[in-house]
Amino acid sequence: MVLVYVAHGRALFKRESLDNFAEALGVETITHSAVSRSLERLRKYELVERRQERGEYRVSDEPLATQLRELSPRLSIEAQEEALQLPPAR
């Protein structure tokens, strides 16, 4: 999910983003350090790079970034809940 946020140029460390990450993962909270660790893993695998002058991140591969943006046109919590909707338990 962090990679999708990077592709969209969304703020990663704002309270709303952290709450969205937590909601999507089904946990109470996500910390800044958890997002930082995710970014470091993405950097290790060369999926994202950091723009030093601005402190921003971007997806390293532009075709991948485009594909992520196309596959996730809405980043609202409602869209995430829709995408993660499971059938009712029997």
Identify the residue whose tokens are 């059938």.
87
How far apart CA 72 and CA 50 sit, in angstroms, is 22
Taking residues 37-55, report their average pLDDT.
90
How far apart CA 46 and CA 80 sit, in angstroms, is 26
Q: Could you tell me which of 19, 71, 6 has the C-alpha nearest to residue 45?
A: 6
14 or 84: which carries more pLDDT confidence?
A: 14
Task: Give the pLDDT band (50/70/90) at residue 76.
Answer: very low
- The predicted structure's pLDDT at residue 77: 43
> Tens of pLDDT along 10-38?
899 999 999 999 998 999 999 999 999 99
Task: Give the pLDDT band (50/70/90) at residue 81.
Answer: low
Q: What is the pTM of this model?
A: 0.75
- Please provide the DSSP assignment of 48-89 as one string: EEEETTTTEEEESSHHHHHHHHHH----SHHHHHHHTPPPPP
How far apart CA 58 and CA 15 sit, in angstroms, is 20
CATH number of 2-83: 1.10.10
